[in-house]
Structure 1
């Protein structure tokens, strides 16, 4: 405890006898009073701290306890609240919603879970739930979180596999305004996701951070953009414009995920940092030392692309449904989307978005060989076998040359042989 004179000043001197040798008593006067005036004893009398505090964090039972006594004493003494924000959290229950206790034998030891599963999985579990309420936890729940963690980790590893040692944004990236249309749409969506994540962090809604990033990674990246652009990245000419356009966005996706996941997956993002190109590390060894991610486009710049992006997602869902039906009824005997030729119709508003200047070649997000597109009364899609023959290198159906390859693959192989 600090010397009383250090924070009482002249108030510790007796006006009659001049005595000033006060001894701080460690006895509790009143639990709510003593804790409630910590804003004075701690924040106002320590040079490295500020008053009001940025945040008070405690359990939900403190709304009638510490939060309230702190507010009352601070307003009474200084006329202001002692905090800028209050975050309360619930209590951890077992998988059946019961309070954990030794007598029930249902206590989960976080230290043991960290040793067994890794701290990042426990951190991911905390962010996957609304901690303002009481939350259940058991081995089964943590197993499910472990599956989600592996999805994140596999996506990071997948991106690193094509970027590490092969693509440096500082020298190889395509200017954003020159990206191919599908890449521009995806970059715009990336910027929007980052803004949504940033807003959720600002308001301490960590479960929203988790859900936003999880849905984005699984639904829109792994099953969407990354799967679609693998063709360009794997089969395109190594230094060709189309491949570099895709990898420019891949690098931004990787950078955004490292930044936005760092507060949660602290050890995993540090692993990634060891393999990032220098231009994405900003001279840092640890992800926690990175500045917050700066999105390539502002909201004013990316918002015009979002309607076209949503239109592509909607059209792709229609294709997926039609493709699955074509496989089920035997229309397609080869069960790869590249073996399909799609015929798509869309109502005028959706058609104009897909066919407009911000639209893209739908064969790429569909991962099929050909798309015939026209305006119609409703969104509808049918699937038939693709024209041409299967290229053994990229698996797309095209007119093959004398070497048995499609024109794109012929050029890519020729470039490798030069």
Structure 2
């Protein structure tokens, strides 16, 4: 065609069917998402789904209640978005997915905030009426519930937000009390005096789930306990061998008259403040049984005589020290001893009969407080890995110590007050603080060390940095402290008629873990099983004000082990529950309440009312009863399909719910448990305000929109710790833009589509049938992924499909048919039919992850004030769309196409061509099956070239090849002819038709237009 003819060629742009859509390329999510939230509220999507869902199989995700005491952090966002993925996907897969959000409202975190306000005003909390104080706590929780509710809703989380559950609602408080009273009635409740993890700052016991571990620098001391009885004095013998042989001939009875002087057992401890409470020293029977190893090395307990000592050493020349041989060198170094001599071994029967003096015996001002003998006791917890091989034992201040003391009848001490100070009348140390109100170390440790030194009992001292328990609320160090507390006995047989899975709380819990619960990931089973298998009895009581009280009465003057110690009467219990339903738990503190409850049943003067409050983990552990069991949108059996929280909840909510339900309903309250990791910054560091690396959900939403934050959740492996930061969010936003462009193209290509265009699969070209096959595959993968809670897998599968199968393949090929074929052509109708099918699946499949964007995409095509993508299920995909033989054939086609496009890309890079339509390659195909596949399709169109030749001839040396596609070679040739001014293909027939400057296909289309 000549230049003059070209200049006269009409403009065919208006005859090309380019995509038409108002769907914007820029999302504008931060500004537009609130509009969709308001719209969802107007049409009441959640309630509409419940109405439509009648008759469907219910799916209940029970919400682990966050604490109502501050703005949301990124961990909250991860948690709630994961829950929303599940609720939305289960709903769209045909279930009635119910989600009632809730809040934990009682307990120390809120009470602590109110106390802080009091301290700032110089007020005394204890001077305020307890009901008034509790009301302030309630108002504080109410405020933060409203704040957090708005922040959760802004993330696009669906749920019954207008009627959440709150542990401080009157009905909830009544049910919590009723659940507690089931323990009272089934005999698992008891009062015991034992050491528990105690916060001196908060003046209350803490559960393990309320404890976190941080590095802490502690004093360490090596202390002499003088031997007063039980060790043979064999100094006169000449050698250790003779002494050992002589010792073997001694009898136990001969030890009574042997009273060695200047001999001490050495202990090591990191809690000097516990020395005044010492009641025993433990040794290892295993170490004591070891004598000499085969090579002659000492491997038991040995008696060492000190020789020369260094300057500043408190060791005394000639004194004798009893130690584990494996730790002797470390003690020698700590005590600054130059040299010593191992005199002999110490036999087990000596240790069994040994008595020691308390290291503070006879100290000036002690008033005889510590003038008692300290027994030596065998303890399996003693090792020779650190210390001295002997363990100082204070039964009131450690679980191992308590258990050993219980076994051997050691007396308990009550020297430490709730605020972490020694009792005022304790000699020498009275009133001194172990931990101060600000959480810093008090003077008690140093005071004990000094007094041990003055008494001549301190052998050495130092400091050690180690992991130490702290309160996760006040961040202050904790201590073990002996107090009278209320416990649930987890190994006591229960005669309650619910023994299908065991007759104790522990056995029911362990059976539930193994037989009744699906754990995601599976490692969660091992984690919680080990915790439940080894945990002690549950400490239920807290010495605080804001919570549900332990609704029980104890007989005055009775002992905890007396049969009538606790008042057990169903009529009293019913009265308490009715009062709480009417007035809430505040009723417990009302004047005259005890008389109201006991009147006509028992004499109120005979009983005391327990004023401790329940551990908040019992509150949240009871939620299955007042949420799942009692609500109309719950389930009568009180069992949820899924609990979902962070990995720390294996020792928290998962476990407290498991134990509580095992005690009151005989089994776990859940069928499935899913756990996620924690959130870290981009470098893998824990987020901290002091480091300035925190990511605030509200700020992410303000900058990017909630869908970007949700997409980040979908892209991470939530079962491990997840990283987030500015660069990661930029990458997430880029993935979102690529996905949005795919959806925008779909919307544009489907403009004006109606049912009259639709074709049946059998009427479609093979490429469209192949795409239906891929959709059938994806339908299976997406449903399977959502059911397995594999959101990363679902998104990656769909994202890869959109970017590889659609944008880089199908859309790329079919743009020509969409733009240039006649509207009524079978090929174009097939393309648009498949795109409509594709649209409905992609938009619904992605709706649980990107609810705002998919709503936008849906309404862009189907505008309706009453409709929403979230009111639709995933479309049913016909099984006969699957076509494996066709898919196998198209694998050959796609592999060959990749070779051709790679060859053309080289020619574009070196400027030989500007577009692929300028090419007419020759493709050499050695494999007959591949050649047949390529000949059976329009491979020219597949490669988006103007012409293409297929041949079985061997490829020449200059042919382009790819290692991953053997047997294929491409020889580049330029297309011959003129460029069609409508479709841009270069063909020989251009310019030979009625319409100037076009090819035969375009000429025919123009005729019909």
TM-score by length of 2: 0.38
CA deviation profile, 1:17-72 (whole Å, cap 9, x unmatched): 94442155586534554433433343233332123211100001222333234334
The within-5 A match list for 1:5-404 is: 18-19=571-572, 20-22=574-576, 28-50=613-635, 51-75=638-662, 78=665, 80-164=667-751, 166-168=752-754, 170-276=755-861, 285-295=867-877, 297-298=878-879, 301-328=882-909, 333-344=912-923, 345-355=925-935, 360-375=937-952, 378-398=967-987, 399-400=989-990, 401-402=992-993, 403-404=996-997
Structure 2 gaps, min length 5: 1-169, 186-566, 587-611, 955-965
User: What is the distance in 2 between the residues matched to 1:16 and 1:341?
Assistant: 94
Please state whether the residue corresponding to 1:292 is helix, strand or coil.
coil
The question of whether the paired residues in 1 share the 8 Å contact of 2:908 and 2:915 is answered with no
User: Does the C-alpha gap of structure 1 residues 299 and 174 become closer, same or farther in structure 2, counting only changes over 3 Å?
Assistant: closer
Matched, 1:411 2:1004: yes
User: Does the C-alpha gap of structure 1 residues 219 and 104 become closer, same or farther in structure 2, counting only changes over 3 Å?
Assistant: same
Flag the structure with higher strand content: 2
Please state whether the residue corresponding to 1:174 is helix, strand or coil.
coil
Flag the structure with higher helix content: 1
CA deviation profile, 1:183-236 (whole Å, cap 9, x unmatched): 111221122223212211111111111111111111121111111100011011
The question of whether the paired residues in 1 share the 8 Å contact of 2:818 and 2:828 is answered with yes
User: What is the distance in 1 between the residues matched to 2:701 and 2:787?
Assistant: 27
User: Does the C-alpha gap of structure 1 residues 284 and 101 become closer, same or farther in structure 2, counting only changes over 3 Å?
Assistant: same
Whose radius of gyration is greater, 1 or 2? 2
User: Does the C-alpha gap of structure 1 residues 389 and 43 become closer, same or farther in structure 2, counting only changes over 3 Å?
Assistant: same
The question of whether the paired residues in 1 share the 8 Å contact of 2:770 and 2:887 is answered with yes
Which gives a bigger RCO, structure 1 or 2 (Cα 8 Å, sep 6+)?
A: 2
The question of whether the paired residues in 1 share the 8 Å contact of 2:772 and 2:882 is answered with no
The question of whether the paired residues in 2 share the 8 Å contact of 1:152 and 1:214 is answered with yes
Structure 1 gaps, min length 5: none
Aligned-pair RMSD on alpha carbons? 2.9
User: Does the C-alpha gap of structure 1 residues 409 and 119 become closer, same or farther in structure 2, counting only changes over 3 Å?
Assistant: same
Equivalenced residues, count? 404
User: Does the C-alpha gap of structure 1 residues 384 and 48 become closer, same or farther in structure 2, counting only changes over 3 Å?
Assistant: same
The question of whether the paired residues in 1 share the 8 Å contact of 2:776 and 2:881 is answered with no
Q: What's the offset of the Cα at 1:240?
A: 1.8
User: Does the C-alpha gap of structure 1 residues 85 and 352 become closer, same or farther in structure 2, counting only changes over 3 Å?
Assistant: farther
Q: What's the offset of the Cα at 1:156?
A: 1.3
User: Does the C-alpha gap of structure 1 residues 206 and 139 become closer, same or farther in structure 2, counting only changes over 3 Å?
Assistant: same
User: What is the distance in 1 between the residues matched to 2:664 and 2:716?
Assistant: 38
Q: What's the offset of the Cα at 1:352?
A: 4.7
Q: What's the offset of the Cα at 1:373?
A: 2.8
User: What is the distance in 1 between the residues matched to 2:627 and 2:821?
Assistant: 61
User: What is the distance in 2 between the residues matched to 1:28 and 1:150?
Assistant: 53
Please state whether the residue corresponding to 2:972 is helix, strand or coil.
strand
User: What is the distance in 1 between the residues matched to 2:575 and 2:661?
Assistant: 27
